[in-house]
Amino acid sequence: MTNVWQLQTAKNRFSELVERALTSGPQIVTRRGKEVVVVLPAEEWKRLQRPKQSLVEFFQKSPLREVEVNLERSQDTGREIEL
């Protein structure tokens, strides 16, 4: 069985499209011969949306982690303006 559906067929057989996505994996819907959307189980979508690593891990692995950053602010108040 194919996992590619024309849009009109997908609309007419939506329940079957959903069932196939749940049992056979992602289903591709085409419009005018071009792939436009993919129907996949919600759990798979959630898995794909999860970050691959935490923000802490990201910064720990950064090549810039050893760079010293000067966070002190200048005490310069700017120039005087005549009113």
d(CA 49, CA 47): 5
Q: For the chain, how long is the longest CA-to-CA vector?
A: 81
Average predicted confidence (pLDDT) for the chain = 91
pLDDT at 1: 61
- Residue 79 reports pLDDT greater than 90: no
Architecture in CATH for domain 4-61 = 3-Layer(aba) Sandwich (3.40)
pLDDT at 25: 95
Question: pLDDT tens-digit profile of 8-55?
Answer: 999 999 999 999 999 999 999 999 999 999 999 999 999 999 888 888
pLDDT at 19: 97
Residue 10 buriedness (CB in 10 A; 0-12 / 13-18 / 19+): buried
Cα–Cα nearest to 7, from 26, 31, 27:
31
Task: Give the sign of the dihedral formed by CA 45, CA 47, CA 51, CA 52.
Answer: negative
